Structure 1
Amino acid sequence: MNDTTPAPQVWPTLRAGDARALIAFLVEAFGFEETAVYGEGDRVDHAQLSWPHGGGIMLGSVRDTPDDKWRLTPGSFGAYAVTDDPDALFARATAAGARVVQEPYDTDYGSREFAVRDPEDNLWSFGTYRGEPRKAAPAG
């Protein structure tokens, strides 16, 4: 990240049937860093997991209440994250129990990628593709 790159302001979010177990899995399998976890007992009201290359995700326990304004179905989440070594991360993830969707492969746009599912059935894709450069902001 360079000096002109803004800090992440978009945080993908998900809900989990067993949020504490999912957090432990995401840390072990993918290398997310547990930045904050709030809640009591098995319930997670809010958690922030940071991705070592920048950005991260937020998650919490599923709430089965009629007044839940942030209703998300566990297992319906999907994300792509950049990694410098997808082959090593694939080995780590599968050793931790991630279910393989696509083994590592090379894309026609120069990325090395793979896809797996976590214990809650969320889809995770990792690769070397960092996206296209941002367009310059129009002059003031």
Structure 2
Amino acid sequence: MGVKFIPDGYHTVTPYLTVRNAPKVIEFLMQAFGAKLSHDAIKRPDGSIMHAQVTIGDSHVMIAEENEMAKATVSTLYIYVPDVDSVYQQAIKAGGSNVMEPMDMFYGDRGGGVRDPSGNSWFIATHKEDVEPKELAKRAEAFHKQQKGKAA
């Protein structure tokens, strides 16, 4: 039997973050989200991290320190957790900066967001309600009207 085209434990899409100060980002992910280092990092001759992997829940996140060929880019990731409010507080204590305090969202999640030391946004959510498509469209319209009113 041949090798599987997706290794065991992985999903079809795996985030790969190119960051500044990879060790600090990895430490943040460990403290904020309980990430586990999947294996020892592969280092470049200068000691910077060429490749590291952490596991958050059932998902892998690959991380590399920026270099001349691959500059750091800012990404946004969405992470589901059992208790958004406590994980948000944990992420702030771990050094994350506030993007949005947790609140109930029209699409059925309670969500908030933080920025990690390299500038990536992590939107943290707990799914609270399954919303049917017609109801979702109605709520989205009401949300946009409310937002438009705030901008005035």
Alignment TM-score, normalising by the size of structure 2: 0.71
Q: Which moved more, 1:87-96 or 1:32-41?
A: 32-41
Q: Does 1:21 align with 2:24?
A: yes
Runs (4 or more) in structure 1 with deviation over 3 Å come to none
- Of structures 1 and 2, the larger Rg is shown by 2
What are the Cα deviations for residues 16-46 of structure 1, in whole angstroms up to 9, with x where unaligned? 2211111111111221111122215641111
Shift of 1:82: 0.8
- Find the counterpart in structure 1 of residue 53 from structure 2: 48
Give the distance between the partners of 2:11 and 2:127, measured in 1 at CA: 18
What is the percentage of aligned positions where both structures have the same residue? 29
Q: TM-score w.r.t. structure 1 length? A: 0.76
Q: CA RMSD in A?
A: 2.1
Higher relative helix content: 2
Aligned residues: 119
1:1-140 equivalences under 5 Å are 7-36=10-39, 37-39=41-43, 42-52=47-57, 54-64=58-68, 68=69, 71-74=70-73, 76-129=74-127
Task: Report the Cα offset of residue 7 of structure 1.
Answer: 4.6
